[in-house]
Structure formats: structure tokens, C-alpha cells
Amino acid sequence: MSSRALHRRLLLTALLASTLLLGGCALTKRNLEPPKVTLKGVTSESMDRDGQVFRARLLLENPNTEDLKVVGGRVTLELAGVSAASARPMENFVLPGLDSKEVDMRVTMDLLAALPSALRLLTSGQTELDYTLKGYVDLDVKALGRLPFKSTGKVTLDNLLRQLPGLVRPAPASPPDGAAET
């Protein structure tokens, strides 16, 4: 075989190999949309000197046609613009394509750091609080990587306090002017 034919064969082999490798990357690296995340509820689990532990129920909606196999992630919860807590998923899960799933996350809050902001919110007279959930989900295929997300919504202060028994008790409603207390 001549050196010219050998050179052509090597060039053809290299071109074919690079086409296969690039095609394989295209199959694994998709333009995935991040999930939409909504806060569904919060319940108290425990409290100790290090802080409060909650279980947050989140609704995740997958706008992609592909299932997302979530193997980790992180969420930060902000209430009225104040960082309130951070969370990690309690277990791996699959978020079906074009579907939704409720997921529990363990949330930790540093009570000493959050206390001034919590007192300000409780005494502000606001009945609804804006919340922001920011974070990411880690997918099981490293080439797909990490999907960041950011979602916002509103939660009523009464509803939030009812879901956190033992943490804060709202003051009883005062009687209307001129009404006698019983």
C-alpha cells in the first residue's frame, strides 16, 4: 500500500472517528429546560441548638420530553427577600417528561441568624410573603450536568405559621374597639 493511500485511509478513519464522537456528544448534551419549582408546604421536624429542621414539599414540573433522573441538588428559600433556609433532596428521583412530581426536601434554618428577619416579618402586618426558590438539580448523566432554576410565588403568613407548630404562635386576634373580652 502506498503512503498516499495509507495517508488517505488514516484521514478517512480520523474523520469517521471524529464524526462518531461528535455525534455521541450531541446525543448526550441536550438543551434541557430547568424544572419549574413551587413551594407546596413546610412542616417542622426537629429543633436543637444548631437550628430548625423542616420538611419542605416542592412541586417540580418538567417541561422537557425526556425524563430527568435527579441524583442531587440544592435549593435556597428566600422569604420576603431574606435568605431563610437551604435544602437538599432526601432521595434520588425521576421527574417524568412533561409531567410533575411532589418531592420532600430536608430544610435547615439557622434560627439565630433568621430571628431578626423573622421578627420583622411577623410585626410588619403583611399577610402574604413573596418567596423565591433558587437552586439546581444534578442529573445522573454527567454530560447533562446541572440544571439551575429559579421560581417565585407567594405564601400567606397564617398558612406558613400553621404549618410550623411549636416554632411561632401568632398572637390571638384582638377584640374590636368597644367589645368586651370574654
Q: Cβ(34)–Cβ(147) under 8 Å?
A: yes
* CA terminus-to-terminus distance, the chain: 107
Q: Cβ(165)–Cβ(55) under 8 Å?
A: no
Mean pLDDT across 62-71: 95
Mean pLDDT across 76-89: 86
Domain extents in the chain: 1-30, 33-162
Mean pLDDT for the chain?
78
pTM score of the predicted model: 0.71
Residue 161 DSSP class: H
Mean pLDDT across 115-126: 81
- Banded model confidence at residue 170, pLDDT cuts 50, 70, 90: very low
CATH number for domain 33-162, candidates 2.60.40.1820, 3.90.1300.10, 2.60.120.10, 3.40.50.12780: 2.60.40.1820
Alpha carbon distance 127, 157 (integer Å): 5
Question: Is the pLDDT score of 128 beyond 60?
Answer: yes
Alpha carbon distance 72, 89 (integer Å): 6
Question: Is the pLDDT score of 29 beyond 90?
Answer: no
Q: Cβ(104)–Cβ(55) under 8 Å?
A: yes
How many residues does the structure list for the chain? 182
Q: What is the pLDDT of residue 111?
A: 73
Using CA atoms of 37, 40, 43, 45 in order, give the dihedral in degrees to the nearest 10.
Answer: -30
